[in-house]
Structure formats: C-alpha cells, structure tokens
Structure 1
Amino acid sequence: MSDMVPEVLNAALDSLFTPKEPGEQEYQGVDGLLYCRNCHTPVQCRVKLWGRDKIVPCLCRCQQEAMAEKKRQDELVERQRKIRQLKATGIQEKHLLEWNFGVAEDNKDIQMAKRYVEQWKKVKAENLGLLLWGDVGTGKSFVAACIANALLDQGIPVLMTNFSKILNQMGAMYSEERYRYIASFSNYSLLILDDLGIERSTEYALEQVYAVIDERYKSGLPVIITTNLKIAEIRNPQDVAYARIYSRILEMCTPVQISGEDRRKSIGKEKQQVVKEVLDL
C-alpha cells in the first residue's frame, strides 16, 4: 500500500498541473513557460514536488501590481471609513468639522497650532497640553478645532467636547457609570475641553470637572482646554474648589493667549452684507 502513495500523488499532481495552451494574453517562451504579453514576465514557474519538476501557475508583474493596487485601494477605503467614524464620535458639533487649516488665516495662532500637529509624536510622548485663553470671539475654539480636524485626518482619535455636555451626559448616571464614562476619555489620544468656565458652579459640577481633569492627568495623555477666563483668575482663584481644578490644569497645560480679531463680529458683518445684497437694503 505504501508503495502506491507516490504513484497516487504523482497522478494527482499530473492532473492538477496539466500543461495548458497559451491564452489570448499569453505566449510560450523558449524555456517552455507561459509569459504575459503585457509585461513579458512568466505566468508559470517550475517547482520540485515530491522529487519531480512541475510547472505551476504564478503571478506575472501585471498581476502582482494589480493585486498591490487593489490592496492599496482597500486600505485607503478602510482608512477613510475609520476617519469618518472617528470624526462622527470625536466632533459632536457638526459645524466644527468645517473649522480647519484650509480655511484659516495664516496668523501666529494658526502657525502655533500647525506646529502642534506637526510635532504630534513628541507632543503625545511628552504629554504637552495647552490652555488657550483670551477674550470672547478671538478664535480659541477655532484654533482647537483646527488641531482636532488635522489630527483626525491622520487617523488619530480626538474628542472635542465641553463640560456642559459632559455634565448633562453624566446627570442620569450612577456612580460606577460615571467613572467608566470619565475613564473612556482615555480612548482618545487628545482630549479638547472647550469653554472652561461656562459650566454650572455647583459643588457636584465642580467635583465632576475635577474628576475629568484628574483622570486625564493620570492617563498621561495631552489635553487642550479653551477658556474666556483671564489667566490671572486661573493662577489666583478665590475659591478652594476652583484652586484644585486650576492647579491641576496648569500642571498639565501651557497657557497660550489667543489674541485674534473677534471672529463672531467678522462673521456677523459678512452676514449683514449678504442680507443687504439679497434684500437690496
């Protein structure tokens, strides 16, 4: 019986690898192998199976390049899907998706933001947070959103939210649920907390604000915080509860004053001009 095994295998191989005639896009080379008419590389190769030479199919250069291109396209589609998903979860206010470097004026604040993105690996490794402070309408949220969108476009998880939303979300949660919710922020490489100071100032609210800040501190991941508060208010708070929060923030973030023109007034003027043109005022 054992003597028959090689014969059975060879018979199976002969039936499997029966020589074939050249196809429309093939020709037979002087070595007896079939070649591709387009790239002139073999679509067959010789291999030794169980001591016998066999001619088996292989991929010519055209086919290899086509497979590589398909793989590249599939990876691109998957990357775009991932980025769309990251943006859907990371940018919760849809108008913020339109705030990016492509529509920004090239001022010193935007140049700083671009460097933050360009140096992201170092920023993340060294946990370099920012506290963007300044008057209302100077572009703090815009600068933060530009950073968020640029990193999201690279497939980096970013969450941009504010404490009012966080507190509203936590309102109906039990203690354990709140802890898991706060801990989930660590899934984002960058956390952006917009408009610090607009949230409620109750004891419960301040406790939760501190919990979010402290958890981020423990995670060792960077955070960007925007606020209309003066830097003097943050450095010299009058209340112990605020002092605890602001002290942790200053430990994590470098204060950067954003001093651009009031974007809201500029946008308001543009809309007024459009209304005048449309209504012929």
Structure 2
Amino acid sequence: MTDTIHNTILPMTDTTVTPEDYTGEDGLLYCGKCHKPKEAYFPEGKTFFGRDRHPSECDCQRAARKEREAAEKQRSHLETVERLKRQGFTDKTMQDWTFANDNGSCPQMKNAAGYVARWEQIKDGNYGLLLWGKVGTGKSYFAGCIANALMEQEVPVCMTNFAAILNDLTASFAGRNEYISRLCSFPLLIIDDFGIERGTEYGLEQVYNVIDSRYRSRKPLIVTTNLTLEELQHPEDTAHARIYDRLLEMCSPLCFTGENLRKAAAQGKMERLKRLLAGKEICL
C-alpha cells in the first residue's frame, strides 16, 4: 500500500520545473516566464506525506491547459458533426448545401437562416415548413442549408425522401415500427421531393404512417414538394386527403417561385464549356 502511494499519488504532487524557474522569497517555486507561483502551501500549515506544498498553475500553464482543452473540444465537435452528417443525409452531396455555398439566387434563403437562428423556439413550438413550388426553384437546397447548419450546432437531423423510406421499410418489414420510431426520434425530420411516391395502396399507407407518427411525436417536419398548394388542398381521393391534411396541419406553406435554378446552372456550365473548347480562358 505504501509503495502504491509513493508510486502513484506522490508524483501527482510534484511540480514541473524548467531551467528558467526560480525560488521566491516565500520559498515557493516561480515560473521564469510569467513570474507566477507554480506551487502553493497547504492551508493552516497542514502537510501531505511530509510535504507542505502542492503544485499550482502559473499563467503559462493555465494558458497551455486551456489551449489543449479548446483543441480537444474542437476535435470532438468536428467528429460529432461529421458523424451527424454521415448518418443524417441519404446523399453525400447534400453536405455541400450550406449557407456558405449559397449563390444568393433564392430569395427565400433569409427564411432558412431565420429558422436556424430561432431553432429553440421553432423546436418548442413544433413549427414545420411545407416548401412548395416548381422544379429547380431551390426548395431542396433551402432545406439542406437548414439541416447542415443545425448539424453544425450538433443537432441531429435526418434529410431523406419517401422513395428511400419505402425501400427501407420493404427491406425490413419486421422492424417497421422501430424504423419509423427512429425517424421520429430526430429533432428535425426533412422529407425531400414529397409526392413522387404516389401510387400503390401500400405505399400511401406507409407514407401516412410516417407522417402521422411524426405528427404524434410533436417534433418539427420540413417537406419539399413540386405539388401545388391547390393540389395539396384539394386531393384526388381519401387516401391522399388524410396525408395532405396532416401535412398542412403540421407545416406552414412557403412558396418558391422564380427561374429554374438547375436550368440556369446547366446553361452557365454549357457556356463555360463552349469557351473552353474555343480555347478561351474562363473564370470559375
């Protein structure tokens, strides 16, 4: 027992000495750089295994410790964000849908920033969004910016689509309830391209189960769709009606208008290619 104390505990009370250090008038060791004590006496003349002093952080040691702690915290944060994005996106390219990469062509993007900035109130109030409009108007990118920004704050988000969900449910029929429960466990669920999965009775039933389960979880849902608000408000049959009614109850509609950003991007890429083929310099 005595050997354990000497070999384990006592070294913890040793003070690290550098060539610049010196002993002060009070008998304590001082740092040769910041001139602050690296030792302190035990209170009221007490001792510990014959020692009357214990190590104390000088300013240099404290600064070095804080720097190490900050680096470790940053490393842990980056690992967490990387894991959340790996688990939260069905498509790796979605990780590039960020505010930093936004080209400013979507007039609604300020609302995405506001959604993130007020996330705590959004979450507590269970405020969802239904992003609707024509193809290529920036709905998915808008939702991806929200997802990435929240993940960078270490908030778990799942951004998927019903095609992927239905495939997963079909592949793991026995664990269907557990799968839906996992989807509903995310603080924010984003379903992209809603509406393309319409068709079979089974598919519609599973779509409703997912949306209804999310509704009962009382957590925010963001949905993007190319359907018009008119189509959502006046569905073609009862099966669609109960799905759309749930969505409109959970999510506030936000219309996306303007030019097709995908066509504009493709046109710009074509023009750059023409200039390259003509042997002209281009600015990327």
TM above 0.5: yes
Cα deviation, 1:25-64, whole Å, max 9, x if unaligned, reads 2111111111001111111111113798712222222112
> Root-mean-square deviation (CA), in Å?
2.3
2:194 maps to: 196
Answer yes or no: is the 8 Å Cα contact 1:34–1:43 preserved in 2: yes
State the one-letter code of the partner of 1:55. R
Structure 2: tracts of 5 or more residues without a match? 280-284
CA spacing shift, 1:233–1:126, aligned 2, 3 Å: same
1:90-239 map, 5 Å? 90-104=88-102, 105=104, 107-175=106-174, 177-239=175-237
1:29 maps to: 24
1:38 maps to: 33
CA spacing shift, 1:20–1:147, aligned 2, 3 Å: closer
1:9-20 map, 5 Å? none
1:142 Cα deviation after fit:
1.2
- From the CA coordinates, give the structure whose radius of gyration is larger: 1
TM-score, reference length from structure 1 = 0.89
| Shift >3 Å, 4+ stretches | 16-23, 50-53
Whole-angstrom CA distance in 2 between matches of 1:51 and 1:189:
53
Whole-angstrom CA distance in 1 between matches of 2:70 and 2:16:
33
1:42-61 map, 5 Å? 42-47=37-42, 48-49=46-47, 54-61=52-59
Cα deviation, 1:194-227, whole Å, max 9, x if unaligned, reads 0111014101000110111011111111010000
Answer yes or no: is the 8 Å Cα contact 1:46–1:53 preserved in 2: no
Whole-angstrom CA distance in 1 between matches of 2:232 and 2:16:
82
Cα deviation, 1:38-95, whole Å, max 9, x if unaligned, reads 1111111111137987122222221122112111110110000000010111122122
State the one-letter code of the partner of 1:111. K
2:282 maps to: none
Structure 1: tracts of 5 or more residues without a match? 1-7
Local SS of the residue matching 2:100: helix
1:21 Cα deviation after fit:
11
What number of residue pairs does the alignment pair up?
A: 267
CA spacing shift, 1:271–1:21, aligned 2, 3 Å: closer
Answer yes or no: is the 8 Å Cα contact 2:85–2:151 preserved in 1: yes
Answer yes or no: is the 8 Å Cα contact 1:130–1:223 preserved in 2: yes
1:4 maps to: none
Whole-angstrom CA distance in 1 between matches of 2:91 and 2:75:
25
1:186 Cα deviation after fit:
2.6
Whole-angstrom CA distance in 1 between matches of 2:147 and 2:171:
28
Whole-angstrom CA distance in 2 between matches of 1:128 and 1:55:
58
Whole-angstrom CA distance in 2 between matches of 1:126 and 1:150:
19
1:274 Cα deviation after fit:
2.2
Answer yes or no: is the 8 Å Cα contact 2:39–2:54 preserved in 1: yes
Whole-angstrom CA distance in 2 between matches of 1:111 and 1:212:
29
Whole-angstrom CA distance in 2 between matches of 1:129 and 1:193:
11
1:155 Cα deviation after fit:
1.3
Mean CA deviation greater in 70-79 or 56-65: 56-65
CA spacing shift, 1:129–1:22, aligned 2, 3 Å: closer
TM-score, reference length from structure 2 = 0.88
Answer yes or no: is the 8 Å Cα contact 2:15–2:39 preserved in 1: no
Whole-angstrom CA distance in 1 between matches of 2:83 and 2:14:
50
1:5 maps to: none
Whole-angstrom CA distance in 1 between matches of 2:166 and 2:14:
73
1:278 Cα deviation after fit:
2.6
